[in-house]
């Protein structure tokens, strides 16, 4: 058992630029042991991790980070790895082999970050077995307990990211599409007919009264039940029935640069159409500012009020959530020119991981037939809602 906790310490050190320490143990299921970790230098929560030793002598470590990345670690007593990176082949349930590049952190330890592909993550969480092959060695793992482990890790992260982050003065070069006034509005995504609605945290931050308005309906009171400031996500619960359908999130094929997308929302409320607004564009980059992989850059124009709205693909499946645009004034001052349609959305995989962390059921589909923009507008209007909030005066 001592080797298991040594392996955990090594994993924690490898997942951040500085050494990480356990801040609390967490009751993971079965033989999995671990907890929540924070960066030694900043004292910021960084990830939750758990480990279990298998009969083949290898310790399997699984980590879920604050920005919703899954990382697998392998510790093999007696290994003598002399390379910095190793090509690893892996498969689930005797299906197709996949390849990745693992970082070798010590002669006995390597880590493999799972790809930002919801289909692969689903396979890891739901498969019964996983085979791993690298540097001439073959290893077999029983994954029958990892479904519960994945939920527990996600809940662990959700517990620690719900705490408000410390104040920061760092400039990001972007600005949320809403500020934090006493009265604000944005857009939301209905994720469940039970009344769960997703939006951006910055849309509801600073408010104490909330409402959700579906197309053709009167506003319904709502309550914020979960939030994640670090990833700009918030979950509301509407107690009264909503005349809205639930969104379907895309799994399977990851987003591609150049892919056609559309944005639905309620920009400039009080000035533009109250029935909702849809615009199309493309995925222009697969990461956000400073190569932040939680986001994608899009060319679809967004305005105040689009925050929290669905980003959908050519089939009307949700692939992200709109959350920010480039700060025109800041860029003009720095470069002397105005940016053109430089906007950002949170990736669908991050959004789904947030929902998983709080055990919220949602609809998924790996593919669907392409639609016209007219049909996409009609479909998206059914689950895109107006989110309004205010604070006491």
- Residue 392 is predicted with a pLDDT of 64
Task: Give the start-to-end residue ranges of the domains of the chain.
Answer: 2-161, 174-390
Left, alpha or beta for 332 (phi > 0: left; psi -120 to 50: alpha)?
A: alpha
- Residue 68 is predicted with a pLDDT of 77
Residues of the chain with pLDDT under 50: 1-10, 12-18, 163-182, 328-338
- Residue 273 is predicted with a pLDDT of 56
Nearest to 359 by CA among 114, 150, 82, 123: 150
Euclidean distance between CA atoms 384 and 314, whole angstroms? 16
- The CA dihedral of 163, 167, 172, 177, to the nearest 10 degrees, is 60
- The CA dihedral of 312, 346, 176, 211, to the nearest 10 degrees, is 70
- Residue 17 is predicted with a pLDDT of 39
Euclidean distance between CA atoms 11 and 21, whole angstroms? 11
Q: What is the pTM of this model?
A: 0.62
The CATH T-level fold of domain 2-161 is Immunoglobulin-like (2.60.40)
Nearest to 235 by CA among 345, 351, 122: 351
Class of 174-390 per CATH?
mainly beta
Which long-range contacts (C-beta less than 8 Å, at least 24 apart) are formed by 340-343? 341/281, 341/299, 341/300, 341/301, 342/297, 343/297, 343/298, 343/299, 343/300, 343/301, 343/302
Cα angle at 293 between 344 and 327, to 5 degrees?
30
Euclidean distance between CA atoms 226 and 198, whole angstroms? 10
Tokens of 13: 């050190």
């Amino acid at each position: 058992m001592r080797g298991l906790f040594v392996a955990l310490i090594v994993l924690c050190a490898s997942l951040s630029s500085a050494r990480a320490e356990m801040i609390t143990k967490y009751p993971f299921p079965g033989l999995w042991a671990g907890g929540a970790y924070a960066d030694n230098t900043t004292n910021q929560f960084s990830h939750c991790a758990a480990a279990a030793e298998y009969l083949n002598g290898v310790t399997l470590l699984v980590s879920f980070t604050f920005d919703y990345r899954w990382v697998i670690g392998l510790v093999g007593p007696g290994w003598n790895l002399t390379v910095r990176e190793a090509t690893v082949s892996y498969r689930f349930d005797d299906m197709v082999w996949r390849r990745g590049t693992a970082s070798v952190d010590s002669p006995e330890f390597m880590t493999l970050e799972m790809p930002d592909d919801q289909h692969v993550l689903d396979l890891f969480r739901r498969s019964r077995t996983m085979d791993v092959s690298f540097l001439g060695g073959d290893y077999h793992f029983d994954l029958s307990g990892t479904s519960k482990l994945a939920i527990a890790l996600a809940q662990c992260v959700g517990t620690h990211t719900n705490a408000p982050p410390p104040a920061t003065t760092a400039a990001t070069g972007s600005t949320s599409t809403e500020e934090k006034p006493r009265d604000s509005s944005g857009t939301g995504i209905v994720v469940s007919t039970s009344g769960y609605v997703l939006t951006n945290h910055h849309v509801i931050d600073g408010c104490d009264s909330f409402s959700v308005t579906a197309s053709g309906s009167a506003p319904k009171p709502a309550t914020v039940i979960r939030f994640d400031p670090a990833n700009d996500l918030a979950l509301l619960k509407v107690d009264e029935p909503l005349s809205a359908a639930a969104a379907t999130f895309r799994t399977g094929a990851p987003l591609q640069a150049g892919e056609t997308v559309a944005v639905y929302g309620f920009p400039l409320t009080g000035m533009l159409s109250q029935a909702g607004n849809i615009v199309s564009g493309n995925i222009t980059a697969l990461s956000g500012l400073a190569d932040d992989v939680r986001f994608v850059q899009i060319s679809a124009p967004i305005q105040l009020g689009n925050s929290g709205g669905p980003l959908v693909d050519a089939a009307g499946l949700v692939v992200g959530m709109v959350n920010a645009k480039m700060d025109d004034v800041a860029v003009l001052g720095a470069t002397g020119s105005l940016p053109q349609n430089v906007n950002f959305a949170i990736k669908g995989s991050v959004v789904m991981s947030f929902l998983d962390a709080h055990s919220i059921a949602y609809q998924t589909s790996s593919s669907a037939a392409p639609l016209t923009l007219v049909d996409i507008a009609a479909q998206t209007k059914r689950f895109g809602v107006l989110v309004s909030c205010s604070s006491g005066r």
